[in-house]
Structure 1
């Protein structure tokens, strides 16, 4: 019996509130129209954005030093480290942070636009960011290089916050996806490509720097030892030629110097063999380290388009404003009843 009375009371209250709200239909309709207008202008003001995506595989260099360890001791004798690889700094999430670094983004912004070589990508970015363009013109006339740096920093900050996304879609895989979402289709594509190129080049230079130094050291030592060995061989021949009719009782005048030169030449020959072997191993190690980023997908025209649906914005805004109006009327009536 209690439930039946409660249900009846609920229906009664619902009818009362419905009639109350219907009496204010003009207010709710007006709010709905206002909301629809706001939704329309919001959708109209939102520009179309384009998505440029590059995906690549990050190679692991954890095993690049395996197979060279047996020669590490020999190489260390001449001051060369064949073992260590510099790739660890680019593994995991570190390379993602490298893509978001100011150095890499700024370098990409300073690249010339491939569609208009008279412009930098930074110029295209400023053309699209109207407020930044106005600010940049004011700054250029006021403070010179310092203002220019502040403009670049602001551009880098905006790109990081709003337009650039670098993620690993699957934590178990070494695939990294770089997304640039911008209202200029050309900038989105060219900046995406430029950023990937800058990071790739920076990686190769950093990754192979140690191996290139090793090769330079080994090459220098190899050339030095070869020169000394050739000098010893030449010295032996000169000593023999200089004493063609030496007194047999005084052979030491020729044998001792020539044997010293021969011994030095044999010693340098053995060292040279090891150096040449280590030099070839260092070159092989360089070949193993050089490739890191293997691009899988690149952005191509036409880019994927994202735009706000006007119908969805109008419908959502209409419902939101009507709901807000109903809530206002309910609170107002409740407070009046309490008083």
Structure 2
């Protein structure tokens, strides 16, 4: 029976045969390496340097409790919820993902920035830096597209959305990095690396502010709504109390020097006195609850403390000449060796 197994001696012989074959093609391999080296050098000169803006902040989220327990219990008997937080979803990694969300990035891109004495949006600055408008000259749908600072998102067309989508994809994949350097440390770092130093700095700061405002507003939304309701009720009861006090004075004027036997004429004044007493008690309680709501709002409003901001000049990174020489030469030589091996294998199989 035929034996299909290959011995170690035959394997070594085959290896020598392939080695001598590649050695005979050394001129082609060396030439490919030289070409790759020159291409790597050219790439190192052509590739623009990247500027990295870094910002770090710490998050302190203090929730109410303890000493306010009895007061909040009293408020709950009146149907008011003053002690619950509305933003518990933004904890841990959820907060870092919020920085990378499309809504936050797009709102940041619409933030105003002053460039060369002109106020433009960060989206327009990004388009100018990448010279996209040079390629839009022959495209009527894109020629008149403008991203004015402060423009409302609801006024965008499909073309606006498409352009913002491309910018978001580019930034989220290659430029934006958000995370914690150490899981045990609650300090979050934001890094933005682009080819424009000004854009990296402005976008990093604007994104931190946008997310910070959204986070604080969401976390304290429920307490803020309760406080506003209490303030409106307090103002309403105060107006009613003022009207009741005025009514008592009018009724007393109407009964001045009235015959003591005519007690029916004194009924309006008595009713107004009851209104004054009732409204006074209600107003006292509402003022108390309103002040408690303000304390609760302050306690449930998280503190986002910026630790380090990007300072010019930013960290500059560029593709080194030595890296271009090594990577270009090695990659070209490896590809040429792979091509020679593949060509010989196909020749044997044909």
**TM-score above 0.5:** yes
Tell me whether 1:210 sits opposite 2:222 in the alignment. yes
Question: How far apart are residue 248 of structure 1 and its match?
Answer: 4.5
Deviates more, 1:135-144 or 1:104-113: 135-144
Q: How far apart, in 2, do the equivalents of 1:16 and 1:298 lie? A: 62
Tell me whether 1:283 sits opposite 2:294 in the alignment. yes
Contact 2:106 2:164 survives alignment (8 Å):
yes
Q: How far apart, in 1, do the equivalents of 2:283 and 2:239 lie? A: 10
SS of structure 1 residue aligned to 2:297 = helix
SS of structure 2 residue aligned to 1:299 = coil
Contact 1:53 1:179 survives alignment (8 Å):
yes
Quote the residue 2:306 is aligned against.
295
Could you report, residue by residue, the CA deviation over 1:210-242 in whole angstroms, capped at 9, with x for unpaired residues?
A: 333322221222122233333334444444443
Question: How far apart are residue 258 of structure 1 and its match?
Answer: 4.4
Tell me whether 1:72 sits opposite 2:72 in the alignment. yes
Q: TM-score, normalised by structure 1?
A: 0.81
Contact 2:75 2:82 survives alignment (8 Å):
yes
Could you report, residue by residue, the CA deviation over 1:226-280 in whole angstroms, capped at 9, with x for unpaired residues?
A: 33333334444444443344445555753x5544433432332222211111111
Quote the residue 1:3 is aligned against.
none
Question: How far apart are residue 297 of structure 1 and its match?
Answer: 1.0
Quote the residue 1:38 is aligned against.
39
Could you report, residue by residue, the CA deviation over 1:286-318 in whole angstroms, capped at 9, with x for unpaired residues?
A: 323344321111111011111111212212332
Question: How far apart are residue 338 of structure 1 and its match?
Answer: 11
Contact 1:136 1:151 survives alignment (8 Å):
no
Deviates more, 1:68-77 or 1:129-138: 129-138
- State the number of aligned residues: 330
Q: TM-score, normalised by structure 2?
A: 0.78
RMSD, aligned CA: 3.4
Q: How far apart, in 2, do the equivalents of 1:226 and 1:326 lie? A: 89
Q: 5+ unaligned residues in a row in structure 1: which ranges?
A: 1-5
Q: How far apart, in 1, do the equivalents of 2:18 and 2:213 lie? A: 69
Quote the residue 2:142 is aligned against.
140
Contact 1:225 1:268 survives alignment (8 Å):
yes
Quote the residue 1:83 is aligned against.
83
The verdict on how the C-alpha distance between 1:142 and 1:114 changes in structure 2, with shifts beyond 3 A counting, is closer
Contact 2:61 2:301 survives alignment (8 Å):
no
Match runs of 1:59-138 below 5 Å: 59-61=60-62, 63-64=63-64, 67-76=67-76, 78-116=78-116, 117-130=118-131, 134-135=135-136, 138=139
Tell me whether 1:179 sits opposite 2:180 in the alignment. no
Could you report, residue by residue, the CA deviation over 1:82-124 in whole angstroms, capped at 9, with x for unpaired residues?
A: 1122231332223223222222222222223233334322222
